[in-house]
Structure 1
Amino acid sequence: MKCLHFALATLAACVILSTPSAALNTFNIILGPSRENCFNEHLQAQERLDLSYEVADGGSLDVDFVIYSPNSRPLYNLNGESFATFGFNAELEGTYVYCFSNKKSGSSERKLSFSVHGPDEVFKIENKELKESVDDPTDTIQAELRTLDSGIKAIRDEQAFLVQRERRHRLTADSTNARVLYWSMVQALALIGVCYFQISYFKRFFEMGGVRV
């Protein structure tokens, strides 16, 4: 049993190292001014779709988001949000469309990243067949590897999303610190200027009154 676990761990490590970045479900897009990008996902009834997005750069770091059911009914709608997460189980079979919109901005683009976790019918069929085939130990290992691979991809997608959020928050913190520094320097210069003006004014006042300071 220990040998089996060791083999699974070794093969899982190989899967992690060999999984290309393009295979992840995290995407980066640029929304131009007054533009909208839409994507679709075909779902069977009761299948689940999870989606999260974050605006990394551009304007006020806000976009509009909406997802439509196969009958064109809006299921979820957000206006002017920087980030959000959304998940649901499909009530109807068909193509669900989700859109990111920058139509409210006519001058600045938006850079955002989003992660999608949806069904993979081919994987489900193969996984079911492998689980039903228990005669060959290799099939069991392959089924476990597929399960591990799916979990690893989900973790890496979430990690990429968190990295994007950390980057945006770090840039915001750096910008705030820089503004505080500049404002402190302006206040110091203003204080020095006021002190100099007061000293010069009182010095001239006493000189005009015949008193030498």
Structure 2
Amino acid sequence: MGQSLLVTVAFACLIARWGVDALYFHVGEKEKKCFIEELPEDTMVTGKYKSQLWDKRTEKFLDSTPGMGMHVEVKDPMNKVLLSKSYGSEGAFTFTSHTPGEHQICIHSNSTKWALFAGGKLRVHLDILVGEHTNDYSEIAAKDKLTELQLRVRQLLDQVQQIQKEQDYQRYREERFRITSETTNSRVLWWSIAQTAVLVIAGMWQMRHLKGFFEAKKLV
């Protein structure tokens, strides 16, 4: 029982590491930045962002003006658009994966105020929360009137559920890899057979041609 609990906690730690991605990046006018997030099926993702403008006078990144807008687009592994929406200079977006695999998250400025800071640049801070990390447990505890122990059990259950989704996704990836490997091996086999057949036919044709040449020259 103790070993099982230790394994569960270890997996939970891994999920805790996988579930949060925080970064920032710079974009120019009409420039789009895209990120790939591998997600299991039926997993909620929340992205929180904040954009800042480069100020040449102070040589610092300052909070964007209210009129500054950002556009977020999310596509699933089948290139189907899950989310395409414009937001303000600071905000959050949420979507749920329906297909396991690589999801593309793209963000760019859709503002016309670039003319006001021509030659400048925009810094975007982006935090991506996956799975149970999207839950606000303080809000859940207040809403459902949970004790600290009950809240901790709720968190562990959510983590175990996310672990199961991750395991299902790994099995899905393994199955796809196996199918791809079998397909590749089958194609290589048939290509080898086709090459052998071509060589045999070419050899037979050459032998027949030489035989006809020798007969025509009365060498045989």
* TM-score (structure 1 length as normaliser): 0.46
